[in-house]
């Protein structure tokens, strides 16, 4: 008997070879590859909801998408294996499961956690140059944490976002739950930041700002003035995409 | 006053985008890029001696090259910065120093240490797929260590090497000082192997053999029979290049 299913896919991908997540005719995108593979295996076209529309060059460890499908029951294990054969090695499906009909990867999500990887050393590491931002000048991690703390809570992030075309009225108010820089072995520094949602280029703008403060180019207390300015030109240069990874999405 | 200097360069590179170390007209190689950059900075062509002639796709953390140069004194710091600008991000120079006239990166070396990275899990990791071999079937690390131990000491490695064309008479006797598989967090397994020197594809052949035993496809005690056969066809399939990294070269 034909019936409707709501399917959730947890996946990981390396963003280096993609022009971002969102499908875009003529260029290689994560959504494009995934939908094409799904169509090949399922024999029908599906619409994907996605938790985080990552930009070109941004990676994901715990991205979540969902879609509805009518027809025969989906065998999760077989579907995962087929998709991994078709999409690998840049995209790997971690898990596929049927979920409640009201689940939507984008709208049901209550928190997104991102990580940004820095290498703070004189010499870059060619083996990891696709997934970390190399910065030569010594960074003051304590100052970067004093900066990060000032972003906690609910703010209008107009100064730290690229406003999508044609969305002049959309709210850019977001709530940051967590923001912390962690010194790691071998001259690495990791930033973890969680919020209910992020607007476009927001993590990279915050990282760029923290790095400017860490390099003593501006004081940590500039955060408030820049937030209040509601003007993107008052923020620091944004960090490059390749250091950024979507780590985890939380659902109720 | 013009005088001769002997220069040692310690460098690291990601092998993914190169057709190996050795210069080869018409293709991108590490030696080709490095010699071209050296010529641009020094204004003269130099001949490089190299500790480990890595194959296409093989990486290096601690590769060593050396060359002699006549003329003005080399400013190591400036030369390193110039080379890193020209060669990055796939090649990074870690250190440049003047060494004794009898130093030769290849012939003075007394030990090479290689590492091989495995991911032993159902799902691959796209972020690290350039630098680790993904194997789905569960591997028995204890059996792999029993296998590795049998390679220790001096042996004729004819069965575990690809003999270079035109070198039918060259000795393939090598001495393995150390060979150990280490379980690591997140389903990783690392192999470290050190020898006075390695012949062509020797580490990858030994890794391929250990993995065959670890997957219970052949017994560990086959090592002796295969060594004694002096026949490459009796060994297991060789491991792919992208899991292999030259870690360190030892000089007296």
Instruction: Answer for the pair B44, B71: CB distance below 8 angstroms, yes or no.
Output: yes
Asked whether residue B1 carries a pLDDT value surpassing 60, the answer given is no
pLDDT digits (tens, 9 = 90+) for A11-48: 999 999 999 999 999 999 999 999 999 999 999 999 99
| A126 closest CB neighbour out of B92, B123, B134 | B92
How far, in Å, CA of A148 to CA of A134, rounded? 20
A92 in contact with B, Cβ within 8 Å: yes
pLDDT digits (tens, 9 = 90+) for B50-72: 999 999 999 999 999 999 998 77
Give the count of alpha carbons within 13 A of B93, CB side only: 26
- Fill in the DSSP letter of residue B15: G
Instruction: Find tokens 């490695």 and name the residue.
Output: B157
Tell me where in chain B the CATH 3.30.70.580 domain(s) lie: 3-98
pLDDT digits (tens, 9 = 90+) for A192-212: 999 999 999 999 999 999 999
| B14 closest CB neighbour out of A61, A123, A126 | A126
Contact residues, chain B, for A119 at CB < 8 Å: none
Which among A78, A126, A137, A190 is the top mutation candidate for probing chain B, defined by the most B β-carbons within 10 Å of its own β-carbon? A126
Tell me how far CA of residue A165 lies from CA of A198, A200, A238, in angstroms: 17, 11, 19
Q: What was the pLDDT predicted at B166?
A: 67
The verdict on a CB contact (< 8 Å) between A124 and B89 is yes
Q: Residue range A166-189: average pLDDT? A: 91
Q: What was the pLDDT predicted at B162?
A: 86
Q: Residue range B90-108: average pLDDT? A: 96
Asked whether residue A4 carries a pLDDT value surpassing 60, the answer given is yes
Q: What was the pLDDT predicted at A1?
A: 46
**B113's tokens:** 């240490």
Tell me how far CA of residue B115 lies from CA of A199, B90, B193, B203, B209, in angstroms: 42, 19, 7, 9, 15
- In B, minimum Cα distance to A130 occurs at B127
User: Which stretch, A3-12, A167-176, A228-237, has highest mean pLDDT?
Assistant: A3-12
Angular region, A166: left φ>0, alpha ψ -120 to 50, beta rest: left
| A89 closest CB neighbour out of B12, B88, B124 | B124
pLDDT bracket for residue B79 (50, 70, 90):
very high
3-class secondary-structure state, position B44: coil
| B13 closest CB neighbour out of A92, A126, A130 | A126
Q: What is the CATH topology of the domain spanning A111-250? A: Alpha-Beta Plaits (3.30.70)
Q: A-contacting residues of B 70-89, CB under 8 Å? A: 84, 88-89
User: Nearest-CA distance from A12 to chain B in Å?
Assistant: 7
User: Nearest-CA distance from A230 to chain B in Å?
Assistant: 35
User: Nearest-CA distance from B16 to chain A in Å?
Assistant: 9
pLDDT digits (tens, 9 = 90+) for A86-119: 998 999 999 999 999 999 999 999 999 999 999 9
- Fill in the DSSP letter of residue B241: G
A122 in contact with B, Cβ within 8 Å: no
What mean pLDDT value characterizes chain A?
94
Asked whether residue A166 carries a pLDDT value surpassing 70, the answer given is no
pLDDT bracket for residue A170 (50, 70, 90):
confident
Q: What was the pLDDT predicted at B2?
A: 53
Q: Residue range B1-23: average pLDDT? A: 90
Asked whether residue B205 carries a pLDDT value surpassing 90, the answer given is yes
B91 in contact with A, Cβ within 8 Å: yes
Q: A-contacting residues of B 164-203, CB under 8 Å? A: none
User: Nearest-CA distance from B147 to chain A in Å?
Assistant: 29
The verdict on a CB contact (< 8 Å) between A126 and B94 is no
pLDDT digits (tens, 9 = 90+) for B138-197: 999 999 999 999 999 999 999 999 877 666 778 899 999 999 999 999 999 999 999 999
pLDDT bracket for residue A167 (50, 70, 90):
low
* Assigned CATH for B3-98: 3.30.70.580
How far, in Å, CA of A96 to CA of A66, rounded? 10
B93 in contact with A, Cβ within 8 Å: yes
Contact residues, chain A, for B91 at CB < 8 Å: 126
User: Nearest-CA distance from A186 to chain B in Å?
Assistant: 13
Residues 6+ apart with CB under 8 A from B14: A126, A127, A129, B59, B90, B130, B131
Asked whether residue B31 carries a pLDDT value surpassing 80, the answer given is yes
Tell me how far CA of residue B107 lies from CA of A70, B51, B70, B164, B240, in angstroms: 68, 8, 21, 18, 27
- Fill in the DSSP letter of residue B128: G
Asked whether residue B73 carries a pLDDT value surpassing 50, the answer given is yes
Instruction: Answer for the pair A120, A141: CB distance below 8 angstroms, yes or no.
Output: no
pTM of the predicted structure, to 2 decimals: 0.91
Catalytic positions of B, written as ranges: 55
Q: What was the pLDDT predicted at B170?
A: 83
Strands B111-120 and B59-71: what pairing?
unpaired
Asked whether residue A189 carries a pLDDT value surpassing 70, the answer given is yes
Give Cα A103 distance to the centre of its chain. 20
The verdict on a CB contact (< 8 Å) between A127 and B131 is yes
3-state helix, strand, coil in chain A (%, to 5): 30, 30, 40
- Fill in the DSSP letter of residue B54: P
- In B, minimum Cα distance to A134 occurs at B89
The verdict on a CB contact (< 8 Å) between A13 and B84 is no
Residues 6+ apart with CB under 8 A from B12: A123, A125, A126, A127, B59, B60, B61, B62, B63, B91, B92, B94
Q: Which helix (H) or strand (E) holds B93?
A: strand B91-98
Best CA proximity match to A174, nearest among A146, A209, A205: A205
- In A, minimum Cα distance to B91 occurs at A126
The verdict on a CB contact (< 8 Å) between B123 and A14 is no
ipTM of the modeled complex: 0.88
Which of the residues A55, A90, A102, A130 is marked catalytic?
A: A55
Tell me where in chain B the CATH 3.30.70.660 domain(s) lie: 111-250
Instruction: Answer for the pair B60, B50: CB distance below 8 angstroms, yes or no.
Output: no
Active site (annotated) includes residue A55: yes
Asked whether residue A121 carries a pLDDT value surpassing 60, the answer given is yes
């Amino acid at each position: 008997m034909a019936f409707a299913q709501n399917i959730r896919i947890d996946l990981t991908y390396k963003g280096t070879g993609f022009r971002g997540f969102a499908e875009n005719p003529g260029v290689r995108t994560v959504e494009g590859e995934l939908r094409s593979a799904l169509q090949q295996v399922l024999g029908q076209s599906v619409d994907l909801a996605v938790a985080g529309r990552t930009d070109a060059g941004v990676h994901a460890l715990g991205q979540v998408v969902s879609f509805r499908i009518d027809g025969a029951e989906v065998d999760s294990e077989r579907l995962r294996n087929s998709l991994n054969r078709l999409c690998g090695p840049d995209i790997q499906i971690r898990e596929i499961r049927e979920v409640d009909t009201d689940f939507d990867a984008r709208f049901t999500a209550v928190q997104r956690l991102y990580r940004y990887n820095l290498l703070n050393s004189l010499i870059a590491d060619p083996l990891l140059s696709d997934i970390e931002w190399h910065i030569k000048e010594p960074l003051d991690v304590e100052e970067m944490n004093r900066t990060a703390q000032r972003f906690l809570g609910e703010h209008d992030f107009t100064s730290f976002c690229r406003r999508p075309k044609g969305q002049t009225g959309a709210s850019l108010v977001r709530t940051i739950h967590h923001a912390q820089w962690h010194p790691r072995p071998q001259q690495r520094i990791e930033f973890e930041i969680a919020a209910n949602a992020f607007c476009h280029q927001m993590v990279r703008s915050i990282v760029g700002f923290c790095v400017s403060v860490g390099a003593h180019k501006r004081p940590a207390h500039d955060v408030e003035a820049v937030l209040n300015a509601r003007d993107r030109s008052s923020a620091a240069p944004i960090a490059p995409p390749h250091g950024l990874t979507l780590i985890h999405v939380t659902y109720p």
